Amino acid sequence: MYHKTTNLFEQALACLLLDDPQQKVEAVLSLQAGWLAGKLDLNPLSDVMPLPIPGRPEKPELVDARDVPRRNFASLKGRLTLVHAIAHIEFNAINLALDAVYRFQDMPKQYYTDWLKVAAEEAKHFTMLSDYLESHAMSYGDLAAHNGLWEMAVKTDFDVLVRMALVPRVLEARGLDVTPGMIKKLQSTGDERLIGILQVIFDEEIGHVKIGTHWYKTLCSQRNLAPEKTFLRLIEKYMQGAKFGPFETEARIEAGFSQQEMDSLLKHF
């Protein structure tokens, strides 16, 4: 389907709607390659459809976050539960990056290069985690998962500035806060393969948050908005009750947060 058009937005939507994870991964990598080779155009579509549900397999069953299985890092079963949960986040992240391409069709060319890079790296992360599960006789979809990531995509589908603020700079940045602690807990297990996977994800997610930060601050500048005050206002408006902190300050600053912004987050959350 995604080979029949040279329109980037049509191809991104076709990738978004694919249900099968492996097909989606392959389609994303093909889409990025086509874009980088200059084979795709940026002609905006006349209609951009809302997507309350993106392309996803029937399983995992989606449940409230409080009902997701708990994980104990010491046992293999606990580590597989952890990997399944992260694989679900990464699968959602592929769709989120594709939606950032498809939904916001009046951005500069570099914006699409950036978000296709994110989509391709999220596809790589999902594949690494999926392969880990498969090597232990388990598959993505075997456990329940929650849908919080895509709910935020729907909440922010009306404005690219709000999307850049709340998806990369809140949801993805949360991954920067928690991953070092997970890696530290895993050290005693000797599971070097999983530690290596999480380290790759952590390093590349810094770049994803940095991309979100760049476009968020660019959009704030265009609209004459103060980035730090606007960020706090958007969190308070759209994410009431969300849990924040403790923060991995060094990684967040590398990803484009200012020290003043970190001070504000610490004070408010």
Q: Using alpha carbons, select from 147, 136, 149 the residue that is nearest to residue 78.
A: 136
Distance between CA atoms of residues 259 and 235, nearest Å: 18
How much is the pLDDT for 9? 98
Give the per-residue pLDDT at 4.
67
pLDDT value of residue 242: 67
pLDDT tens digits, one per residue of 238-249: 987 666 788 999
CB 50 within 8 A of CB 12: no
| Local confidence band at 2 (pLDDT 50, 70, 90 cut-offs) | very low
* pLDDT at residue 241 in the model: 61
